[in-house]
Amino acid sequence: MFSLPKNVTLIEVGPRDGLQNEKNSIPTEAKLSFIHALQQAGIQEMEVTSFVSPKWVPQMADSTVIMQQVVKKGRQFVLTPNAKGIATAKEAGAKSMAVFVGVSDTFNKKNINQTTAESVASLLPLIDQLKKDGYFVRACISTAFHCPYEGFIAPEKTLDLCRKFSDIGVDELSVADTDGMANPAASYSLFHSLKEQFPNVLITAHFHDTRKLGLANIYSALQAGIDRFDTSAGGLGGCPFAPGSTGNVATEDVLYLLESLQIDTGLDREAICRAVDIVAPYLSRPIDTAMYQLYKRKENVS
């Protein structure tokens, strides 16, 4: 009989991964209110912004202001794709950096115009220096299961890429089902291998709910011993370089699953939904996650 973890950490990615591709411009004040409401709901680890070129990601043009004005609580990640992003993030006061690379060459080239090997070669010395300087580093591994251009990814390729980052000393590997093609069997198999091969690195599962298998994949990852998950309040998100992919698995829906399994997170599900209320009026699409819709129905009745 398998055993499930008694406690799980949810890393909230809504303010960064969730909003970066939103078509409507969201005011900085609304983003900060969203982040602070998520903190009030109990979130201790969160992607708050991204230090990328505003030419390519205009939604993140206020990253320095966000980092300077956000209430410092828990671990606050910022996405830093290159040396320039890292330098700007340091100047803004960031302490926890996230770098990213795709297992798939084609995806990586469409995303940052580099092959996977080129990305790794450029990132490893930057990570080495970050660790020497005392920063927390998370490596985000995209297309870990499937690539929209190359098809299914051999697990060995994902594990080999993760090993390169583990060897350089990253603190965490966030391993992503970027286009929502994973299934529960593949989820269990890959995350079981990751837990076995990298016992000294935090392993986090990052699922997109494109085909509505996000919760099933999380349950399988729980069985494999994973106790850290990236989730997005309101199911916000998607990837512009993965055609057809929808948002990340919703924080409030994952919370209900974990609550039903008597797994503690320290989070308030209704407070998460209230945080979504703050940003919902600015979005180009409605929030249709199960628990948010239930929350709104109850709110209307009362």
- Catalytic positions are 239
Q: Which residues contact 125 (CB under 8 A, 6 or more apart)?
A: none
Length of the chain (residues):
302
Which one-letter DSSP state was computed for residue 245? Answer: -
Q: Are the CB atoms for 15 and 26 separated by under 8 Å? A: no
Cα angle value 277/280/284 (rounded, 5°): 175
Name beta bridge partners: 207: 177
**What phi, psi does 183 have (nearest 5°)?**
-125, 165
Helices 155-168 and 116-132, interaxial angle, to 10°?
30
d(C-alpha 174, C-alpha 217), whole Å: 15
CB atoms < 10 A from the CB of 281, how many?
Answer: 9
- Strand 151-152 versus strand 146-147 pairing type: antiparallel
